Amino acid sequence: MRMALDLAKKAMGRTSPNPMVGAVLVKDGQVVGRGYHARAGTPHAEIHALREAGERAEGATLYVTLEPCCHQGRTGPCTEAILAAGVKRVVTAMVDPNPLVAGRGVERLRRAGVEVTVGVLEEEARRLNEVFVKYITTRSPFVVLKAAMSLDGKIATRTGESRWITGSQARLAVHYLRDRYDAILVGINTVLKDNPSLTTRLPDREGRDPVRVIVDSMARTPPGARVITQESPAPTIVAVTEKAPEENRRRLEDAGARVLVVPGPGPGVDLVALMKELARREITSVLVEGGSRIHASFLESRLVDKVIWFIAPLIIGGSSAPGPVGGEGPARLSEAVRLRDVLITRYGEDFCVEGYVNDGGAV
């Protein structure tokens, strides 16, 4: 099963809106077939493993990280291929949370006489597919809030200088995050202040640019901003309110952006409605990269599932220097956002604190 999980990870960031799945076929103590799901619309992991095994699949045991599907989607049902190959036993890490499957695949195999075991390395499998679990059960994206700050909690000096607080290793880690998640989201103030590219730049392989989402209630994004004018296969979505001037919207569309009017009470963009609309477009995960007002709004709206927080051993100081989370903030510590399952990683001289929001997340 660990081998199957490692195979599934090979497609990290490439299978959306599908889950990552790995499969290993074993017969007489020997691996006879292996495979993983590479991207939506291509054969599932089980099919790759069965094809590699050929006739050796008969009487074999299949280890697969997610319950085999039993419905016709972009591809055919894996349960029927497993039965046709004569596999005698299936070991799966977890039941598929997709309501179209949700135990039906296991039931179909058992009815046909296949021995099925469920729950081997289940926690690891659920963590691997935390994005898919959240998306398929709530029809809302998995939201990761990422920030980088100094030791005293500043994201810039009092004059606004912010490049670079963290070192090169931490910044590279952020690009691997961008490669992994479907969309990257920032607020209009970040665009106006930093004019970021919001692309993925990796030294060892070609990265995948996430869809760029700008929260911009009045469509103030300059048509010449880099998030719009740069060459990238990923689109830029500018989320605006119904009060955004029509002329501003038109200028952005003429420049190549996709303007998304999000209904809501205002004055800002309704983030809950925005997340639902992104999910409708099969965007399963969103990496929120700032600024402080956007961070506060996502936390206050209880939309954050996971936090990834880089901390540099740097003291900036200054009562007017901005912090990573704006807004009014809670009045009591009991109302503060608390993380669970915290992991601390070092990147050069910097540290990264990673954890899940207690009242959020699907795992």
Q: 222 near 250, Cβ under 8 Å?
A: no
Asked if residue 234 and residue 125 are part of one domain, the reply reads no
| Cβ contacts of 259 within 8 Å, gap of 6 or more | 219, 237, 238, 240, 244, 249, 252, 253
Task: Identify the active-site residue in 46, 124, 231, 354.
Answer: 46
Instruction: Decide which of 88, 111, 130 is a domain's last residue.
Output: 130
Whether 135 maps to a domain, the answer reads: no
Asked if residue 306 and residue 217 are part of one domain, the reply reads yes
Asked if residue 192 and residue 43 are part of one domain, the reply reads no
- Please check if 301 is assigned to a binding site: no
Give 74's pLDDT tier (boundaries 50, 70, 90).
Answer: low
Whether 136 maps to a domain, the answer reads: no
Asked if residue 126 and residue 65 are part of one domain, the reply reads yes
pLDDT at 363 > cutoff 60: no
**Beta bridge mates, 215:** 187, 239
Instruction: Decide which of 130, 165, 183 is a domain's last residue.
Output: 130
Q: How many domains does the chain have?
A: 2
Least confident of 28-37, 51-60, 203-212: 203-212
- Please check if 175 is assigned to a binding site: no
Asked if residue 255 and residue 166 are part of one domain, the reply reads yes
pLDDT in tens, 103-143: 899 999 999 999 999 999 999 999 999 999 999 999 999 99
What amino acid occupies position 264?
G
Q: Tell me, what CATH number does 340's domain have?
A: 3.40.430.10
pLDDT at 276 > cutoff 90: yes
| Cβ contacts of 334 within 8 Å, gap of 6 or more | none
pLDDT in tens, 167-209: 999 999 999 999 999 999 999 999 999 899 999 999 888 889 9
Asked if residue 119 and residue 192 are part of one domain, the reply reads no
- Please check if 309 is assigned to a binding site: no
pLDDT of residue 73: 65
What is the domain range of residue 273? 141-356
pLDDT at 165 > cutoff 50: yes
d(CA 36, CA 45): 4
pLDDT of residue 346: 96
Question: Which run of H or E residues covers position 137?
Answer: helix 130-138
Q: What is the biggest distance separating any 2 CA atoms in the chain, rounded to whole angstroms? A: 71
Residue reference for tokens 């929120």: 288
Which of 1-10, 152-161, 265-274, 354-363 ranks highest by mean pLDDT? 1-10
| Catalytic residue flag (residue 130) | no
Asked if residue 216 and residue 73 are part of one domain, the reply reads no
- Please check if 194 is assigned to a binding site: yes
Asked if residue 322 and residue 228 are part of one domain, the reply reads yes
Q: 269 near 239, Cβ under 8 Å?
A: yes
Instruction: Decide which of 130, 156, 179 is a domain's last residue.
Output: 130
